[in-house]
Structure 1
Amino acid sequence: MTPRVTVEHLFGALDTVEAVVTLPTFRRPDHLIRTLDSLAAQTTTRPFAIVVMENDDERLEGRDAARAWFEHTDRTGIVVVAHERGNCSAYNAGWETALRHCPAMTHLLVIDDDELAIPEWIERMVGTAEKLNVDFVGGPQKPVFEGENGARFARHPVFVPHYAETGRVPLLFSSGNVVMRRQVLETMGAPFLDTAFNFIGGGDSDFYSRAKERGFTFGWCSEAPVMETTPARRTETSWIVARSLRNGAISAIIERRRGKGRSAWVKRQLKSAALLAVSPFRALRLGWNTGSAFIGIYHMQIAVGRFMAEFGQVNEQYRRPEQN
């Protein structure tokens, strides 16, 4: 029987690191190296390690690229293979590995293999968590568009950070740029992310929602962005529409998981109906502010996506990585 996670390589002294950066990868070996280089350039006095989670146990391009990078740079870290496909499975593999092999870890960070960290990223993220005394801190994922349509959609909500200012916030929604305290992982327990979200996304939002129910707190650091390479296909209208509908569907799915029974169902339907009713007015405001009618209809798509989820119509954008 194939193990769920295989620890392939360990580099350096792991028992003294205070921060661990977890980095999932799937068929982006070239960009993975760029991401690793940005982590190697961090300006921090905090001892840190990098855990690379290869999520393609067939080609293993990420594993091989990461192993060669560690051997060349002498950085501290671990390379693991997460055999179950899906982003939630990859995150779970990395987070479990960090807990097991890094006993002095106080904070765990997440960055994706299509992102680049600024040199102050680790210091600002962990420092903000300490200053705000919160359990989670998120940061902006700033798109770097490769296609010609990027400028048209730069102000679309699927690309705009959820918050603009540093400080405490009620909740986070993305795992592409986040730091959390070790206590969060120890309390929530493995598996941390629900693998039912592996191919639709939203496992991170579900995790945050459950963590909030357990009393964990959230913050935001606007001064610690990561630069997200955004390919041309993500500025095609079909991709943006699919992502918008999916966002709406995920919100309904998470609410359905939190509330059971007839009364919860009625409450959810009323909320979806209310969002649909006010969406034309929100669309007018958003379209006016952005100068784009297409961007304006985002709130309508969110409401429609919520209703679609009730009938099991959820787009698995991560099922076909070549189209994502």
Structure 2
Amino acid sequence: MSPTITIACVSPNLAKSAVETVVTLPTFRRPGHLLETLASLAAQQGAPPFAVIVMENDDEGRQGLEAARSLFERGDMTGLVLIAHERGNCSAYNAGWQTALSEFPQLRHLLVIDDDELADAHWVARMVDAAARLNVDILGGPQVPRFETGARSGFERHPVFRRPYAVTGVVPILFSSGNVLIRRRVLDTMGAPFLDTAFNFIGGGDSDFYSRCRERGFGFGWCADAPVFETVPARRTEFSWLNARSLRNGAISAIIERRRCAGGGGAAKRLAKSLALLVASPWRSLRLGLNTGSATIGLYHCQVAVGRLMAEFGRVNEQYRQPERN
């Protein structure tokens, strides 16, 4: 086991060699919601036997570990809790995925849910079934926003909260790791570290991973009837947060393209695309604003275009560096 990973507790009588499905759950300073997420996993219906790996990513406070420890030690949850000592969301995912491979030799399906989400009662069953029916390597599902009291209304139509696909089927690529199933052969082929830790505090490590997976020939799918429900704090409907997230989305797209298309020719092509998006963005934003009835939502395309250009000059907002503001 890597020195950056410590397995803190394991459920009693865990038959590791019998586990084929593992749900990984990163957590950082959300002990109350972590327990709600675990309760939603404990309530799964029709699912194959599965184990849960909780990845505590707060090496100092360890609130998630202490909240979940008794559930695993009593055997109320099957699986284990580990400490991912290296902070950052990519590091937490890497720790969980590496542990899943090393601790569960018969692993076939790895699922991911975040500690601010609740799984639908049939989530695991439907994700596993859809991956088999669609014969895809990586399967995503909806992250349905549930806005907390005090949140500004109408923002469920904002692109940062809107699901990328509407119906179940094969899709060209995915964008988020908050609700996903990954087949073991993807992890075996891509190798650790799976997510690039350069994205630890800006986000986008999952998008970069999917981009690399597509280059290796892996196929993607979408399961519309396997949602998770994401708790959205009121601060995420404030203009400052929406602006930062939209700028970040643009920056991430430019960074990923830069990694895929290195060299002078690639840089020129990327810059031309960024400038073209900037020129088109006012009209796209106007149309989005009119369609949604919101000037704030309409600004999205302009913000993404500006974010792409900022990234070209090395200016990228590390939105996850200060979690209390995220």
TM range (shorter): over 0.9
Query: Are 1:36 and 2:32 matched, yes or no?
Result: no
Q: Which residue in 1 is equivalent to 2:88?
A: 86
Q: Which residue in 1 is equivalent to 2:295?
A: 293
Q: Which residue in 2 is equivalent to 1:68?
A: 70
Q: Specify which of 130, 134, 137 is matched with residue 136 of structure 2.
A: 134
Q: Which residue in 1 is equivalent to 2:4?
A: 4
Cα distance in 2 for partners of 1:110, 1:197 equals 18
Q: CA deviation at 1:66?
A: 1.4
Q: Which residue in 1 is equivalent to 2:324?
A: 322
Bigger shift: 305-314 or 141-150? 141-150
User: Match for 2:3: what amino acid?
Assistant: P
Q: Which residue in 1 is equivalent to 2:226?
A: 224
The structure-2 alpha-carbon separation of the partners of 1:45 and 1:139, relative to structure 1 and needing over 3 Å to count, comes to closer
Q: Specify which of 302, 305, 320 is matched with residue 303 of structure 1.
A: 305
User: Match for 1:163: what amino acid?
Assistant: Y
Cα distance in 1 for partners of 2:54, 2:123 equals 18
1:155-304 superposed matches below 5 A: 155-304=157-306
Cα distance in 1 for partners of 2:121, 2:233 equals 23
User: Match for 2:150: what amino acid?
Assistant: E
The structure-2 alpha-carbon separation of the partners of 1:93 and 1:236, relative to structure 1 and needing over 3 Å to count, comes to same
Cα distance in 1 for partners of 2:198, 2:255 equals 11
Judge conservation of contact 2:9–2:73 (CA < 8 Å) in 1: no
Q: Which residue in 1 is equivalent to 2:57?
A: 55
What RMSD, in angstroms, separates the aligned Cα atoms of the two structures? 1.1
| TM-score, length basis structure 1 | 0.98
Judge conservation of contact 1:82–1:90 (CA < 8 Å) in 2: yes
Judge conservation of contact 2:151–2:233 (CA < 8 Å) in 1: no
The structure-2 alpha-carbon separation of the partners of 1:311 and 1:45, relative to structure 1 and needing over 3 Å to count, comes to closer
Q: Which residue in 1 is equivalent to 2:123?
A: 121
Q: Could you report, residue by residue, the CA deviation over 1:249-306 in whole angstroms, capped at 9, with x for unpaired residues?
A: 0000000111111100000011101111111221122111111111111011111000
Q: Specify the SS of the correspondent of 2:9.
A: strand
Judge conservation of contact 1:33–1:69 (CA < 8 Å) in 2: no
Q: Which runs of 4+ in 1 moved over 4 A?
A: none
Cα distance in 2 for partners of 1:76, 1:270 equals 51
- Structure 1 portions without partners, runs of 5+: none
User: Match for 1:286: what amino acid?
Assistant: L
Judge conservation of contact 1:24–1:112 (CA < 8 Å) in 2: yes
Q: Could you report, residue by residue, the CA deviation over 1:107-156 in whole angstroms, capped at 9, with x for unpaired residues?
A: 00000000000110001111111100000110111111114334221110
| TM-score, length basis structure 2 | 0.97
Over the matched positions of the two proteins, sequence identity in percent amounts to 67
User: Match for 2:80: what amino acid?
Assistant: I
Bigger shift: 148-157 or 194-203? 148-157
Bigger shift: 2-11 or 178-187? 2-11
Q: CA deviation at 1:45?
A: 4.2
Judge conservation of contact 1:252–1:268 (CA < 8 Å) in 2: yes
User: Match for 1:126: what amino acid?
Assistant: V
Q: Which residue in 2 is equivalent to 1:100?
A: 102
Q: CA deviation at 1:73?
A: 4.5
Figure out how many residues of one structure are paired with residues of the other and give that number.
323
Q: CA deviation at 1:70?
A: 1.6
User: Match for 2:40: what amino acid?
Assistant: S
Cα distance in 1 for partners of 2:117, 2:141 equals 12
Q: Specify the SS of the correspondent of 1:15.
A: helix
Judge conservation of contact 1:14–1:76 (CA < 8 Å) in 2: no
Bigger shift: 15-24 or 145-154? 145-154
User: Match for 1:58: what amino acid?
Assistant: E
